[in-house]
Amino acid sequence: MTASRQRGFTLIELVVVITILGILAAFAVPKFISLTTQARIAALNGLAGSMKSAASLARGMAMVGGVAPAGTVTMEGATIQLVNSYPDSITGIQLAVNANTTASTGDFTSVPGTSATTVATYESNSVNPVSANCAVTYLPATTTAPPVVTVVSSAC
């Protein structure tokens, strides 16, 4: 007589493994969900830094070149319109950040009802409409104050 041996896992072993995997997933999934929000906020902070740097660079170029406060500067082939020696609203700051000769409205748009404000979202407007609660706001300079860049990330 030959003894036959069964191969495989018992039902108890399978239940224990599935339970352990379920517990691990319960702790891991919230961590991964939280990462997307953190990534969006980091992208907004990066864009805000780029906007501040571009505005400062445009101002520096205007000062060195002796350009009038309401004149223009050229940054990598793009003509930037200035207000008090800083990039103006939508087109100016977008061109300064993108260093591009054409103004695409993919990421930069005005917030309805606030014509002097430029808002940049972390993703294209064609994908998601502008969310005022997940955006970078650029308020152009005035004759008495430099531009203000604000990050709002309450709904990212």
pLDDT at 19 over 90: yes
Model-level pTM? 0.69
Residues with Cβ < 8 Å from 70, sequence gap 6 or more?
82, 83, 84
Q: Is the pLDDT reported for residue 125 higher than 50?
A: no
Mean pLDDT, the chain, as a whole number?
78
Token reading at 134:
């997940």
| Domain residue ranges of the chain, discontinuous segments joined by + | 13-152
pLDDT for position 3: 63
Per-residue pLDDT of 40-71, as tens digits, reads 888 888 888 988 999 999 999 999 999 999 99
Distance of CA 101 to the CA centre of its chain: 21
How do residues 142-151 score in pLDDT, each as one tens digit?
888 899 988 8
Q: What is the mean pLDDT of residues 28-32?
A: 78
Q: ∠ CA 152-95-134 to the nearest 5 degrees?
A: 15
